[in-house]
Amino acid sequence: MAKIVAGIATSHVPAIGVAMDKGNTATPYWEPLFRGYGPAREWLAKLKPDAAIIVFNDHASAFSLQLIPTFTIGVAERFPIADEGFGPRPVPEVRGYPDLAWHLAESLILDEFDMTIANEMPVDHGLTVPLSVTCGQPAQWPFPVIPLCVNVVQYPPPTGMRCFKLGRAIRRIVGEFAGDARVVIYGTGGMSHQLQGERAGLINRKFDTDFMDGLTRDPAALTRITHTEYMREAGSEGVEMVMWHVMRGALEDDVTEVYRHYHVPASNTAAGLIILENGSGA
Amino acid sequence: MSTPPDYESIPGTYVYDARRGRQGYQLNMFCMSLNKPENRARFKADPAAYLDGFSLSAEQRRTVLERDWLGMLRVGGNIYYTIKIAFCDGLTFQDVAGMMSGVPKDVYAKMMLAGGRSPDGNRFKPAPGGTDHG
């Protein structure tokens, strides 16, 4: 029987990937950020999950404005690394997990989540930076990945509540999978940041801290944050945090916070990372 | 048109909603084409000729050719798309963010190192129904 054993949420700032790819992680600017990723890597290496579901958003890489699916699940054997406009990141191709991905796709649709199914989907920094942050720079990623892509580029993204409910469904459906797999789920994006307009550079440490606290204390309250509140309080691109709710919804009601790291700035962004384990154990 | 959405009260912010989606489609699809290295080379070699292949408005065309980053947002540009022009120029996201917020690069970088732009005083436009960002 398969089971979601733990959740990770992390920012997916492209500059973090560039810093790793160029070997700049020990510079005074980046060292404090990367130092905080060490314990997360150790935790994940010890957990040794069989697979990961990574909830992320595409940044005009696999999808353009021609087609804007709200939720997409990748069912391919492999996912190539996207060229986002400066060449593909020099990281390993991402291996898929078609058996579980198709099981999720079929069951989610029958459960009334209208998933888009992707047989081909290059993946960009939204998915690869979280892998880099938590796995370092291996020759191959240590586990297969099911990419779950959420639209946050064209307003409106799905609500936090919808994302949470999707997570709830994922938890149950993974549990019904005939195979045997311990699965970790990633929510990515955020935390507070604004990349556009005269208000670029907005950071809200209090909002971010309260949000991370709320994941264990009162996740239901977090699902009621409106898009306007995210944008006003956490910056226009802070609305990416709806994706963290998919991760939280996929865990048990009772979770334990294992680790957190928060650092400002990573380029224009407040970089946050949190690890949650189910109360019943990983 | 119904009442303006509540996020219009956020200052200095261009939410990519239906209105901007209609206005900016061609501009952003031009940016999308820059995901291909051969297109980047053609755009760099002759920007004006490359833009002839897309149905941009005169103002959209001007903002691209002049690298008016804020202007692009005002004519329907989406930052996840327009940033691809900056990548073509060898600029970073932080370079462009600084330019959009109207301060020199080092001033913007210092602000970020000091914890970023505070939300205090930046949550609402100054006057009720204040200036429209276009």
DSSP string, A168-220: HHHHHHHHT-SS--EEEEEEE--SSB--SSTTTTB--HHHHHHHHHHHHH-HH
The one catalytic residue in A12, A125, A245, A261 is: A125
Residues B76, B94: one domain? Answer: no
- How many domains in chain B? 2
CB–CB of A228 and B111 under 8 A? no
Instruction: Please count the CA atoms within 13 angstroms of the CA of A251 that sit on its side-chain side.
Output: 30
For residue B134, is pLDDT > 50? no
Residues B24, B64: one domain? Answer: yes
Tens digit of pLDDT for each residue in A228-257? 999 999 999 999 999 999 999 999 999 999
Tens digit of pLDDT for each residue in B94-108? 999 999 999 999 999
Disruptive mutation site among A31, A151, A193, A198 for chain B (greatest number of B CBs within 10 Å): A198
pLDDT band at B1 (very low <50, low <70, confident <90, very high): low
A200 vs B contacts (CB less than 8 Å): 12, 97-98, 100-101, 117
A264 vs B contacts (CB less than 8 Å): 112, 115-116
Residue B129 lies in a domain: no
Residue B132 lies in a domain: no
Residues B113, B99: one domain? Answer: yes
CB–CB of A195 and B97 under 8 A? yes
Alpha-carbon gap: B84 to the closest alpha carbon of chain A (Å): 6
Residue B121 gets the label, from left (phi > 0), alpha (psi -120 to 50) or beta, of left
Q: Which among A154, A88, A64 has a CA at the least distance from the CA of B87?
A: A88
In whole angstroms, give the CA distance from residue A12 to residue A189. Answer: 5
Residues B35, B52: one domain? Answer: yes
Looking at the DSSP assignment, which residues form a beta bridge with residue A277?
A6, A256
Residue B134 lies in a domain: no
Cis peptide before A156 (omega within 30 of 0): yes
Looking at the DSSP assignment, which residues form a beta bridge with residue A81?
A123
User: Is B104 within 8 Å of chain A by CB?
Assistant: no
Residues B81, B100: one domain? Answer: no
Q: Which residues contact A190 (CB under 8 A, 6 or more apart)?
A: A9, A11, A208, A234, A238, A240, A241, A243, A244, A269, A270, A272
Strand pairing report for A145-150 and A182-188: unpaired
Smallest CA–CA distance from A83 into chain B, residue: B35
Residue B65 lies in a domain: yes
Cis peptide before B72 (omega within 30 of 0): no
Tens digit of pLDDT for each residue in A19-70? 999 999 999 999 999 999 999 999 999 999 999 999 999 999 999 999 999 9
CATH code of the domain containing B67: 1.10.700.10
Two tokens, residue B128: 């009720």
Residues B18, B65: one domain? Answer: yes
Q: How many CB pairs under 8 A join A and B?
A: 152
A85 vs B contacts (CB less than 8 Å): 34-35, 40, 83-84, 87-88
Residue B40 near residue B34 (C-beta atoms within 8 A) = yes
Mark whether A193 is an active-site residue: yes
A3-278 fold: Protocatechuate 4,5-dioxygenase; Chain B (3.40.830)
AA identity, residue A34? F
Tens digit of pLDDT for each residue in A114-163? 999 999 999 999 999 999 999 999 999 999 999 999 999 999 999 999 99
Residues B53, B94: one domain? Answer: no
Of all helices (H) and strands (E), which one includes residue A7?
A: strand A3-10
CB–CB of A199 and B10 under 8 A? yes
User: Residue A1 has what pLDDT?
Assistant: 83
Tens digit of pLDDT for each residue in A72-112? 999 999 999 999 999 999 999 999 999 999 999 999 999 99
Q: Which among B1, B34, B13 has a CA at the least distance from the CA of B133?
A: B13
Residue B66 lies in a domain: yes
Residues B19, B81: one domain? Answer: yes
For residue B133, is pLDDT > 70? no
Range of the domain at B115: 90-120
- pTM of the full structure: 0.97
The one catalytic residue in A12, A193, A245, A261 is: A193
In whole angstroms, give the CA distance from residue B62 to residue B65. Answer: 5
User: Residue A280 has what pLDDT?
Assistant: 83
Closest partner residue to A14 among B73, B93, B112, by Cβ?
B93
Residues B79, B58: one domain? Answer: yes
User: What three-state secondary structure class fits A56?
Assistant: strand
CB–CB of B37 and A87 under 8 A? yes
DSSP character at residue B117: B
Residue B67 lies in a domain: yes
Closest partner residue to B12 among A85, A192, A197, by Cβ?
A197
Residue B15 near residue A236 (C-beta atoms within 8 A) = yes
In whole angstroms, give the CA distance from residue A60 to residue A62. Answer: 6
Strand pairing report for A269-278 and A116-118: unpaired
User: What three-state secondary structure class fits A3?
Assistant: strand
User: Is B94 within 8 Å of chain A by CB?
Assistant: yes
Instruction: Tell me how long chain A is.
Output: 282
In whole angstroms, give the CA distance from residue A276 to residue A279. Answer: 9
Residue B63 lies in a domain: yes
